[in-house]
Structure 1
Amino acid sequence: MKLSSVLSSVNQIEKSKFVNFLDRICSEASETDKELAKKFRNIDGQIKDASNSEVTQLFRLAAPVLTKEVRRLLALSGAQADLLVNILSRDGNCVAQLSWIERLYAKEWKAINQHSKRIQESIQAGSEPGVFDENRRLSIYYSCLKEAYLNDETSNRQAKISDEERGILNVLAHQLDVTAEDRTAIEHLVIPIEKSGVQDCLNQLREIGLLFIRKKEQTVYVPDEIVAILHRIQNKDIADKHLLRILRTLSDAELSNILKAHDKRIRGVERNEKIDSIFKMGVPAAQILLQDMHNDKSLINERKERLKQLIEDLQIKLEKLGTTLEERCGLIVDALNNSAEREFNVLSAAGYKAMFEAISRHLPDITKRLREEFELEENTEIDVEMLRALSITPYDILYILTNDQAKELKASMGITRRGEVRQVIVEAFANATDKLIENYQALAQRDLATLKQKNIEIAEAEIGVKFEEVTKAILEELGFDIDEDLRRSINTAKDKADILISLSDDDVIIGEAKTCKNGDFAKYSTTSRQVKAYVNRCEAAGKRVSQVLIIAPTFSADFIESAELDTEVNISLLEADGLKKIYEAFRSRRKPNFSAKLLTKGGLLKADLIAKRI
């Protein structure tokens, strides 16, 4: 979840630690950063009274200073904090129950403890004289880390590893080719990680602004922007899911090259085992792309051509390929780090949901795979809203599958178009949404006969939900930001808004999509109570509701009059056919002139005039 969405999901007390930490960072940084100082002066230095939008802006400006301070504080926080940060920064763990974090921690601690014992046995076994093997390298790193930790005691100071010592150990680990997994296990031998006390440590991390804890639901939130900072501190150049995406795209021979480059066993190792071993090693993606995946004798031009092919295999769209090997590698890393928004935009919310439902029908174990891949909670229902909140894109789901499994899925879905298999699957659902948009009016009027004539098979009970999804798809095409994170956070079992459009970090439009089988939509009193409840919940989350937009096939005269005379909320009415006209006019223009203000005039909107204005 984005920081702005998390801030809207928690109350003032729950975000106080983050705000206090940011306040201190901003106060210190303002002395040298003129732009930050100006922003800070605009809110009179009272960040506690700032809006969510202002807090988000300040965070972005202060991010470099904040990163430096977080790095320093984590270095002083101990091994338990490091382990928790490693868990919280992994894909799928940015929103999780406290109890689930504790379970993940216990599982991770057990694995590290077992691995530490194996390494200790290897170090004690030693190496043959004159042989510089893995045991010898691990023994050197262990001795140096132990000295870095305990040397303070000779000066009658508390044992710790300073920032400078940590930097030297990082260089040493790289030169000795000690993997991330082995480094953690060796550190556990010297500085044992506590087995309990997870909640206390989470509170410690909350004090330095790394997470939010929603007390009522006992839920931990780590915003996407904080995860990015933690990745930089951990020297991760891409997210775990993107590293796995690269590894699953490489050939068996290339996976073997990576393992050989780090003296790991390759004979008799299955493909999935190779990928798992490389992933646990914690090798940076850039090192894999520049060196490890290639044969030792391969020339620079051969490596550049291989990266060019990899760009195509990963469906990365680049304006330029880069002239050097390093540039090409950097473009791949940057593209993957910035891929989430592009991959979500490929499909509308309705298209994503349709794709996930179809995959679930053809692969009933997909939810199990998702739980394993992203460490999702066992008892939580997995749906598209949850996946979006965790930044899991349609492509992330498809890259869980092997190439052969993706081809089998494509065939079972009856998709015959040629091309890169995952791209073809995604595009098939973009086309399905287009077909529903074409028949938007029939959907609004619950006209099953017309829908069947157009080869659209849909159960009558699902029409309302489908109309809501297609309405979101149209609004997304018009350039609106459909905020599923915010909608998820304000919805309750009783009050469930259909659509929330974010105009800015603080301003929203509430949308309601209503179907009606016979005649005009006339239920004003019921609809009015619903939207006013949503307005209250949005305002409680710190949002300003600029407008309520109700979309239906047609409205009765009484409904229109009641909406125009309502003094509590600003309500605009838009007929379904009118929204489609606006959409078609928008699509037909090369540079459409469209603004959200056109939908906030109040009363029954004149779609024909809006379409002409576009």
Structure 2
Amino acid sequence: MKLEKILDKLGSIEKNSFIKIIDNIISKSPKNAKQIDRILSSSDKGLKSVDNQNISKIFALTEMEFQDHIKSEFQEITSQLDILIDIIIRDGNCIMKQDWLSRLYDTEVKHLKSKIKSLNADFENDKSELSNFRKRDYKIYKSCLKTAYHNDIENNRDAKITSDELSIMITLSEQLGLSQEEVKLINYSILPIKKIDIQDIIKGLKNIGVIFYSNKENTIYVADEMVRMLRGVRKKEVAEKFYRRTLKLLREPIINQIGREHNIDRKLSYSQKIEEIIKEGVSFTSLLLEHIYKQGSTLTERKKTLNELCEKGLNIPNLKGSTLDDKIQSLIHHFENVERDEKVGISLDGFDKMLTELNISLPKLNKDIREQFELQDEYVLKADFLLDYNIKPRDILDLINKSDLTKFIKENGIKQRGDDILNILEHYKDVENLFLENFENVAYRNLNLLKDNGITIKESELGIKFEELTKTILHSIGFNVDETLKNSLNTKKDMMDILLNLGNKEIIIVECKTSKEKGYNKFSTVSRQLKSYQNLALKNELRIVKILLIAPEFSDDFVTDCEMDTEMNLSLITASTLSNIADAFKSSKYNEFPHVLFRDIVINEDRILKALSK
């Protein structure tokens, strides 16, 4: 769930710790201080009075400093911050009830204690599968950590790892090729794990600003933006779902090779070994630099293997970069963009339909998804629910094995030639709803964004399409879009776009305008057009309740000219506002939109949304 959406759900007290940390960062003149000041200049009372959208923007501008603040917290070695952060950044753990976090924490502690016991046994056992080379790496790291920890005790100080010591230990672990899990096991073999009470865990995470806690809902929220930042703190370059997507393209001998290097049980199944590699926190970069290639591969062969993996497996053509490092960074950057992107790839209705039909074909899928993403709810195959957890259609399909995908495709009449997952996504695209979800992009005539969202349309068709979509939206909020009456009034010279028939000879005239330019600014032209429609209606003894002009946005000059006009009862409404009103209307008590709410010069979205929610 996005930070802004979480902030909208919470009260001021529940946001207080987070706001205090950002306020403290701002007071120390961060890198983007000038941009932050421009946002704060609109408020006289400081950060607390800034709206949630701008708080999200300020967080983005202070992300680097916020990350440094979190890193400094790792010096408090009894906080178990590495364990807790690794739990909350897993896919599916961004929204949790208190008891669910408690259960995940208990499970993690038991799992770590068991693995520490096994690791210690491997140290002592000459016949263990752990190679002498790997034992040497573990012993080097363990000895250095022991010194860093115990030198404080010997000097009669509180035991802690200083920031300098921590940076050295991180560098050492990277040079030894240790995974996050291996580092954790060695750390907690020196500093035994003491279970922390769940209330203290929540308080601690809330105080350092990484979670929000709603007392009313007894729910923990971790913003998508915070998850990405915390992954950076933990040196995890990509989300688990992208890591899994990449690993599933590798042959089992390669997976076994990675498993051997990180002490993963080779008796596990192929899928279990993949999950263990992800849990181990093996660096994605080192995986693609070293681990996925045949022994003795040349640099040219490695580049070719990586290119094939991206082009044929991940459907990413023309991976940028001349060196292997550059190509890997390009892939990481690609996954970051996909994750930040709010596009679903198919419409919400299409996503829901896909989930419903998956549940029929594969009855165990709901249980599998719950377990994979550690979700608490019983039934999770719902589009809105999954999107709150940033789980998209592709992420679901990636978890289904090949034979089950084939079964689903055959049972639902989906194209069988080519890539199975892409064929399924295309089948459930639901173009009409996809257009509605891209209503604002159509208004802005943004062909590139429409193409990125899976919509193909000629630029010459955008004006007509915007009009059609506006009719659909107005119809969905209960208006009578009367084509018959409109056609009877229109002449060859004067042709209004949309007419809403309110009955009793009362109408609303709607005009639709698309524009590439920022700020629609053609009042003189459009006012002549609207006045001619007004005269047409009045000649036919119709009462015009309102004239609505819908465009992507309006310039200040346009709004001023509109305010000065005394001949028309004209209101301006942006495409995004109309779209948001339609969304709010779905859950309101009204069967027909109360048009009296259209009374501003520029329609006030917040006021209307509040009115609909009552």
Give TM-score scaled by structure 1 length: 0.71
Residue 143 of structure 2 aligns with which residue?
143
Residue 10 of structure 1 aligns with which residue?
10
Of residues 221-230 and 350-359 in structure 1, the stretch that sits farther from structure 2 once superposed is 350-359
Of residues 193-202 and 51-60 in structure 1, the stretch that sits farther from structure 2 once superposed is 193-202
Residue 108 of structure 1 aligns with which residue?
108
**1:39-70 Cα distance to aligned partner (Å, 9 max, x none):** 44443461111111221121111111111112
- 1:557 equivalent to 2:503? Answer yes
Higher RCO (CA < 8 A, seq sep 6+)? 1
- 1:388 equivalent to 2:345? Answer no
Q: How does 1:32-431 map to 2 (within 5 A)?
A: 33-44=33-44, 46-76=46-76, 78-125=78-125, 132-262=132-262, 266=266, 270-317=269-316, 321-340=320-339, 344-379=343-378, 381-430=380-429
CA distance, structure 2, for counterparts of residue 87 and residue 236 of structure 1:
13
CA distance, structure 2, for counterparts of residue 13 and residue 79 of structure 1:
24
Residue 595 of structure 1 aligns with which residue?
552
Q: How does 1:376-525 map to 2 (within 5 A)?
A: 376-379=375-378, 381-430=380-429, 433-434=430-431, 437=432, 472-473=436-437, 475=439, 478=442, 514=476
CA distance, structure 1, for counterparts of residue 133 and residue 296 of structure 2:
23
Measured after TM superposition, the shift of residue 73 of structure 1 is: 2.1
Measured after TM superposition, the shift of residue 420 of structure 1 is: 1.2
> Is 2:8–2:52's contact at 8 Å kept on the other side of the alignment?
yes
Measured after TM superposition, the shift of residue 264 of structure 1 is: 5.5
Q: CA 1:178–1:63 in 2, change beyond 3 Å: closer, same or farther? A: closer
Measured after TM superposition, the shift of residue 292 of structure 1 is: 0.6
Residue 460 of structure 1 aligns with which residue?
none
CA distance, structure 2, for counterparts of residue 554 and residue 470 of structure 1:
25
Measured after TM superposition, the shift of residue 398 of structure 1 is: 0.5
CA distance, structure 2, for counterparts of residue 199 and residue 34 of structure 1:
39
Q: CA 1:241–1:32 in 2, change beyond 3 Å: closer, same or farther? A: closer
Measured after TM superposition, the shift of residue 559 of structure 1 is: 11
Of residues 45-54 and 310-319 in structure 1, the stretch that sits farther from structure 2 once superposed is 310-319
Q: CA 1:418–1:479 in 2, change beyond 3 Å: closer, same or farther? A: farther
**1:257-308 Cα distance to aligned partner (Å, 9 max, x none):** 3234556665x55322331332233111111112110012212222222222
Aligned length: 484
Residue 440 of structure 1 aligns with which residue?
none
Residue 532 of structure 1 aligns with which residue?
none
CA distance, structure 1, for counterparts of residue 287 and residue 39 of structure 2:
41
Measured after TM superposition, the shift of residue 234 of structure 1 is: 0.2
CA distance, structure 2, for counterparts of residue 92 and residue 72 of structure 1:
26
3-state DSSP class of the match of 2:237?
coil
Q: Which has the larger radius of gyration?
A: 2
Measured after TM superposition, the shift of residue 374 of structure 1 is: 0.6
Letter in 1 for 2:418: G
> Is 1:252–1:271's contact at 8 Å kept on the other side of the alignment?
yes
Measured after TM superposition, the shift of residue 76 of structure 1 is: 2.3
> Is 1:315–1:423's contact at 8 Å kept on the other side of the alignment?
no
CA distance, structure 2, for counterparts of residue 226 and residue 39 of structure 1:
21
3-state DSSP class of the match of 2:74?
helix
CA distance, structure 2, for counterparts of residue 369 and residue 331 of structure 1:
31
3-state DSSP class of the match of 1:78?
helix
3-state DSSP class of the match of 2:330?
helix
Q: CA 1:311–1:151 in 2, change beyond 3 Å: closer, same or farther? A: same
CA distance, structure 2, for counterparts of residue 519 and residue 296 of structure 1:
69
Residue 455 of structure 1 aligns with which residue?
none
Measured after TM superposition, the shift of residue 341 of structure 1 is: 5.4
Q: How does 1:529-608 map to 2 (within 5 A)?
A: 555-557=501-503, 595=552, 597=573
Quote the sequence identity (%). Answer: 27
Measured after TM superposition, the shift of residue 238 of structure 1 is: 0.6
CA distance, structure 1, for counterparts of residue 119 and residue 441 of structure 2:
55
CA distance, structure 2, for counterparts of residue 401 and residue 514 of structure 1:
36
Measured after TM superposition, the shift of residue 218 of structure 1 is: 0.4
**Which structure 2 segments of 5+ residues have no match?**
445-472, 483-497, 515-549, 554-572, 579-594, 599-614
**1:75-116 Cα distance to aligned partner (Å, 9 max, x none):** 326342321111111111111111111111111111011111
CA distance, structure 1, for counterparts of residue 443 and residue 308 of structure 2:
33
Measured after TM superposition, the shift of residue 340 of structure 1 is: 3.1
**Which structure 1 segments of 5+ residues have no match?**
438-468, 481-510, 521-551, 565-572, 583-592, 606-614
Q: CA 1:413–1:476 in 2, change beyond 3 Å: closer, same or farther? A: farther
CA distance, structure 1, for counterparts of residue 477 and residue 40 of structure 2:
48
Letter in 2 for 1:17: S
CA distance, structure 2, for counterparts of residue 212 and residue 291 of structure 1:
39
CA distance, structure 1, for counterparts of residue 84 and residue 274 of structure 2:
24
> Is 1:127–1:135's contact at 8 Å kept on the other side of the alignment?
no
Letter in 1 for 2:22: L
